[in-house]
Amino acid sequence: MEKTLLFVEDDEATSYIYQYVLRKIEFKGDYKIINNGEDAISALLNSEFAPDIIFLDINMPRINGFEFLDALKEKYPLKEKNSLVFMLTNSLNPDDEKRAMEYPEVKGFLSKPLTKETLLEIIN
Amino acid sequence: MTDILEFFGGIFDTSGWPPRWYCGVWTDFHGWLYIISDFGIFLAYALIPTFIFKFIREKEGIPVSNVFLWFVAFIVLCGFTHLIDAIMFWYPIYRFSALIRFFTMVVSMVTVYKIVQIYPQLMALKTSNEFQAEIEQRKDAEYKMREYAGQLESSVADLEQFAYVASHDLQEPLNTIKSYISMLDENLKGKLGDEEKEFMKYTLESSNRMQVLLQELLSYSRLGKNEDKEWVDLNKAVEEVLNDLKSKVKESGADIYLDTLPELYTSKIEIHLLFQNLLTNALKFKSSQRPLKVSIRSHEREEDYLISVEDNGIGIDPKYQGKIFQIFQRLHNRSDYPGTGVGLSTCKKIVEGNGGKIWFENKDQGVRFIIVWPKNRL
Per DSSP bridges, beta strands B304-311 and B293-300 are: antiparallel
* Position A1 confidence tier, pLDDT thresholds 50, 70, 90: low
Q: How far apart are CA B95 and CA B7, in angstroms?
A: 7
- Residue A36, domain member (yes or no): yes
Q: At what angle do helices B65-87 and B94-124 cross, to 10 degrees?
A: 160
Is residue A90 included in any domain, yes or no? yes
What's the confidence (pLDDT) of residue B258? Answer: 92
Within 8 A by CB and 6+ apart from B80, the residues are B42, B100, B104
Digit-coded pLDDT (tens) for B297-339: 999 998 999 999 999 999 888 888 888 888 888 888 877 888 8
Show residues of chain B in contact with A24, CB under 8 Å: none
Across the interface, of A12, A59, A61, the residue whose CB is closest to B332 is A61
**B331 contacts chain A (CB < 8 A):** yes
Identify whether A122 is part of a domain. no
Structural domains of chain B ordered from first start:
2-125 (no CATH), 225-374 (3.30.565.10)
**Per-residue pLDDT at B163:** 79
Cβ of A24 under 8 Å from any chain B Cβ? no
The confidence score (pLDDT) of residue B34 equals 94
The dihedral sign for the CA sequence B194, B200, B201, B203: positive
- Alpha-carbon distance of B18 to A120, in angstroms, equals 128
**What single DSSP character describes residue B126?**
P
CB-CB: which of B206, B331, B333 is closest to A13?
A: B206
pLDDT in tens, B196-245: 998 998 998 888 888 888 888 888 888 877 668 889 999 999 999 999 99
How far is B92 from B86, CA to CA, in rounded Å? 10
Tell me if A89 sits within 8 A of A112, measured CB to CB. Answer: yes
Confidence of residue A70 (pLDDT cuts 50, 70, 90): very high
User: How many domains are there within chain A?
Assistant: 1
- A116-123 and A12-24 are packed helices; what angle lies between their axes, rounded to 10 degrees? 70
Q: Is residue A81 part of a domain?
A: yes
Kindly state the average pLDDT of the residues A62-72.
Answer: 91
CATH number for the domain harbouring residue A77: 3.40.50.2300
The answer to whether residue A69 sits within a structural domain is: yes
Q: If you measure CA to CA, which chain A residue comes closest to B340?
A: A61
Q: Residue A72: inside a domain, yes or no?
A: yes
The better pLDDT of the pair B88, B124 is held by B88
Q: Domain span at residue A33?
A: 5-114
Assess if residue A24 is contained within a domain: yes
User: pLDDT at residue B378 above 60?
Assistant: no
Of the ranges A46-55, B32-41, B127-136, the best mean pLDDT one: B32-41
Does residue A120 belong to any structural domain of this protein? no
Summary mean pLDDT of chain B: 88
Q: What is the model's pLDDT at position B5?
A: 87
- A116 touches B at CB < 8 Å: no
Spell out which residues of chain A touch residue B194, defining contact as CB-CB under 8 Å.
Answer: none
pLDDT at B226: 65
**In terms of pLDDT, which residue wins out, B95 or B338?**
B95
Residues in A closer than 8 angstroms to B206, CB to CB, are 13
Q: Is the dihedral of CA B334, B337, B338, B340 positive or negative?
A: negative
Residue A12: partners with Cβ closer than 8 Å, 6 or more residues away: A35, B202, B333, B334, B335
Q: Is the CB of residue A18 less than 8 Å from the CB of residue B202? A: no
β-bridge mates for residue B229, sequence order: B267
Q: What percent of chain B has pLDDT over 70?
A: 98
| Range A20-44 average pLDDT | 91
Are B340 and B217 in contact by the 8 Å Cβ rule? The answer is no
CA distance B192 to B214: 30
Average pLDDT in the B179-203 region? 89
**B39-43, B56-60, B97-101, B262-266: range with lowest mean pLDDT:** B56-60
User: Closest-CA residue in chain A for B205?
Assistant: A13
Distance from CA of A26 to the nearest CA of B (A): 16
